[in-house]
Structure 1
Amino acid sequence: MARIVILGAGIGGVPMAYEMKETVGKKHDVIVISDSPTFHFVPSNPWVPPRWRTPEDLKIELAPVMKKKGIEFIQKAAAKVDPVNNQVQLVDGSAVAYDFLIIATGPRLAFDEIPGLGPDGFTSSVCHVDHAAVAAEDWDRFMENPGPIVIGAVQGASCYGPAYEYLMILETELRNKKVRDKVPMTFVTSEPYIGHLGLGGVGDTKGLMESALREKSIKWITNAKVDKVESGMMFVTEVDEDGNDKKKHELPFKHSMMLPAFTGVDAVRHVGVEGLINPRGFVLVDEHQRNATFKNIYSVGVCIAIPPIEKTPVPVGVPKTGYMIESMVTTTAHNIADELAGKEPTHVATWNALCLADFGDSGVAFLAMPQIPPRNTTWSAEGKWVHLAKIGFEKYFMRKIRKGISEPYYEKLMLKLMGVVRIKGE
């Protein structure tokens, strides 16, 4: 009987556990290690600060559902992955041995790379539900005395959708509360142009996003490096297409949310052996989601290493979307099952990108197949239906996670958006 350990219990780790257990059944042990007792639905975090959701709306207690699925759940933080000895060391001094390890930790949020950035500095975050809860308190104070807002993503960021979403959700909330006229808004991004998204654009995302910002009277700065943040002031350097300094900006704000760059989590980036991670601490994987040096280690989600798709004046990372993660999960489950049967891995993840960017009362959707160009399919669209679709998908996804059901969540959403199937239970 093999011990299959999954490190992490987020949008990658929880579906990974469900699908892995369904694939191998009772013949093998599936064990999940997480520093949190709950799963939370990260895509809905931007709704928390304006009180459209509470943090508890987005959380699911994992121990009961894991027990029903026959999955062992260890609610402890990992101190270090030890690939030489095939174990995960935990912060309490104990260790969990494995035959196969699937790293699904998500990222470390590198707020420390820019002075004054993050919840411990002067900007808010929606990267974690607990950060979003703190941002809600800041938003309450802001609404008592509105002023300038600065939203965006710093150099090296690899996830841009939530920044656009948060910007437009707040804009919608301000209009609903009849105070939009009191709030200048600026979007600051390391992208070379609006709608780049770390993907070189998808369809007409450049035109769609720029049009949306112009329509809402939102200014923007692209090719931007955030130098530092002080109380109520952000210092930004705008560079030209060759990366040379073009203009210095001092942007006052009363509320700000800036997405940070990511690294691998400490338990992985401090592993101390060659061949597992890249210099940023992301796990190196082949087309089968398997590490080439430690072949019993697989990885899925934001914690894997994917190089940028192109050179940009300011560093821009590549996003790893839910649809892409879903493909990694299925591929990993089947490849480990093959290995347990004495076969070599043959399954390959598709790495397609599907995104619903909610704009509060409308939105933009895009599909890139594959995510990294050149592509076979490129599609984008806009409208109020995107906002409604994201609400529906949140409910659908959370219901399946709560019931411990493994199925292609994002693939069903994609097919529905393209008019092929109807999601049951809507």
Structure 2
Amino acid sequence: MNLRKFIKKIGVIFKQAKAIAIYPEGTQTTSKPFVLIEYTGRDFPGKKENVEYDYLINATGPKLNFEATPGLGPDKNSLSVCSASHSKQAAQELKKTIENMKKGKNAVFLVGTGHGQATCHGAAFEYVFNLDFVLKKEKVKDKAKIVFITNEYELGDFGMAGAHIKKGGYITHTKTFTESLFAERNVSWIRRAHIYKVESNKAYYETLYGSTHEIEFDFAMLIPPFAGVGLKAYNKTGEDITGNLFTSNGFMKVDADYTQKPYEEWKAADWPKTYQNPTYKNIFAAGIAFAPPHAISKPMYSPNKTPIFPAPPRTGMPSAIIGRNWRSMCSFYRSQSFFWHCCFYNSISYCA
């Protein structure tokens, strides 16, 4: 898709670049805040530029933190669908696996989370059904064993402690719903698991009960944990103030309550309302880019003190809610004369 052509129609200046650092106070020679960017497109590769703003939206998405699990990732021993290039690679590997199955070979497909604190379970969940569909279409499902491995305490947790959904006039918990869908498709599952190492055709995992196991596979699509993309921040004198804007894992601080407290004291009011940085009021964060105050699912630890519970999801519906919250804010800002700067890591667009 030609984003430049589409975005121009709605009055947005598009720059094919990535954000490197934020200067929320400007510098000693300019009082205007700006973002330092580096072009990644064909026209000006490597060129850097300062882009000034009145209001900044950090919508970079995550860094895919494959390094958290040795051997994890498409450059090593597993596959991913977290980017267009990763999805293309996974599709190519799936095609090769199916070709071998058509020659009579059985195959084990391992799908799920590649770390005890990974999130984005929906992507892995959906992939199971895509996989089931393709294997049936290619008439090789009888030679396949699909295993779903997850850090969830129960299936259907999805990093939000489960939910109740209404379908066919009945209200059903997502645990029952998910287990039923998997059982109908002969998908087996491993819950409460932290994958701590991936080798070629083999994954090693620890359970919530402290035992360790291994599972062999022919094809593995495992979602990595997420981190912030690593943006830096500097004040007017050039002093590093990254810690004022971001948490230690790189996500941006917003108007959430980050007070450390036990699970029993967590409440909805801990979560942000405007997604506004408390230090610099003209900076906001959206989607995965903002730092959550805590998990939603109950924290669980193995006897080895290994955390095995999902990080809170911030894509899909949560991002839609963020957009809804901003609608009322935008109605005000549209009446003003401001320059909005929206950061999308690697491909950045600037909202005029």
The TM-score bracket by the shorter chain reads 0.7 to 0.9
Residue in structure 2 matched with residue 265 of structure 1 by the alignment: 229
Hey, what's the Cα distance between the residues in 1 that align with 2:22 and 2:75?
Answer: 27
The one-character-per-residue Cα deviations of 1:2-57 (angstroms, maximum 9, x if unpaired) are xxxxxxxxxxxxxxxxxxxxxxxxxxxxxxxxxxxxxxxxxxxxxxxxxxxxxxxx
2:18 is aligned with 1:77: yes
Larger CA Rg, structure 1 vs 2: 2
User: For the structure 1 residues 330 and 216, does the alpha-carbon distance in structure 2 shift closer, same or farther, using more than 3 Å as the test?
Assistant: closer
User: For the structure 1 residues 337 and 297, does the alpha-carbon distance in structure 2 shift closer, same or farther, using more than 3 Å as the test?
Assistant: farther
Shift of 1:160: 0.4
2:217 is aligned with 1:210: no
Give the alignment's TM-score, normalised by structure 2.
0.74
Following superposition of structure 1 onto structure 2, how do residues 106-125 of structure 1 map, counting pairs within 5 Å? 106-125=61-80
User: Which stretches in structure 1 are left out of the alignment for 5+ residues?
Assistant: 1-59, 343-426
Matched residue SS, 1:225: strand
The one-character-per-residue Cα deviations of 1:50-71 (angstroms, maximum 9, x if unpaired) are xxxxxxxxxx311112222221
The one-character-per-residue Cα deviations of 1:304-345 (angstroms, maximum 9, x if unpaired) are 122201323313111123333233234335436646879xxx
User: For the structure 1 residues 115 and 68, does the alpha-carbon distance in structure 2 shift closer, same or farther, using more than 3 Å as the test?
Assistant: same
Aligned with 2:312 (options 318, 328, 352)? 318
Residue in structure 2 matched with residue 89 of structure 1 by the alignment: 36
Question: Which of 1 and 2 has higher RCO (CA within 8 Å, sep 6+)?
Answer: 2
Hey, what's the Cα distance between the residues in 2 that align with 1:117 and 1:282?
Answer: 22
The one-character-per-residue Cα deviations of 1:120-143 (angstroms, maximum 9, x if unpaired) are 111111111111001111111111
Matched residue SS, 1:274: helix
User: Which stretches in structure 2 are left out of the alignment for 5+ residues?
Assistant: 27-32, 39-46, 102-106, 165-172, 235-239, 256-272, 302-307, 337-352
Task: Give the percent of matched residue pairs that are identical in Structure 1 and Structure 2.
Answer: 32
Shift of 1:272: 4.3
Matched residue SS, 1:249: strand
Q: Is the 8 A contact 1:298 1:332 kept in 2?
A: no
Matched residue SS, 1:140: helix
Q: Is the 8 A contact 1:269 1:280 kept in 2?
A: no
Matched residue SS, 2:56: strand
Residue in structure 2 matched with residue 149 of structure 1 by the alignment: 109
User: For the structure 1 residues 140 and 269, does the alpha-carbon distance in structure 2 shift closer, same or farther, using more than 3 Å as the test?
Assistant: farther
The one-character-per-residue Cα deviations of 1:99-121 (angstroms, maximum 9, x if unpaired) are 11001111111011111111111
Q: Is the 8 A contact 1:102 1:300 kept in 2?
A: yes
- How many residue pairs match? The answer is 278
C-alpha RMSD of matched pairs (Å)? 2.0
Following superposition of structure 1 onto structure 2, how do residues 183-202 of structure 1 map, counting pairs within 5 Å? 183-202=144-163
Q: Is the 8 A contact 1:275 1:292 kept in 2?
A: no
User: For the structure 1 residues 198 and 149, does the alpha-carbon distance in structure 2 shift closer, same or farther, using more than 3 Å as the test?
Assistant: same
Q: Is the 8 A contact 1:269 1:281 kept in 2?
A: no
2:236 is aligned with 1:249: no
Hey, what's the Cα distance between the residues in 2 that align with 1:198 and 1:64?
Answer: 37
Shift of 1:176: 2.2
Residue in structure 2 matched with residue 361 of structure 1 by the alignment: none
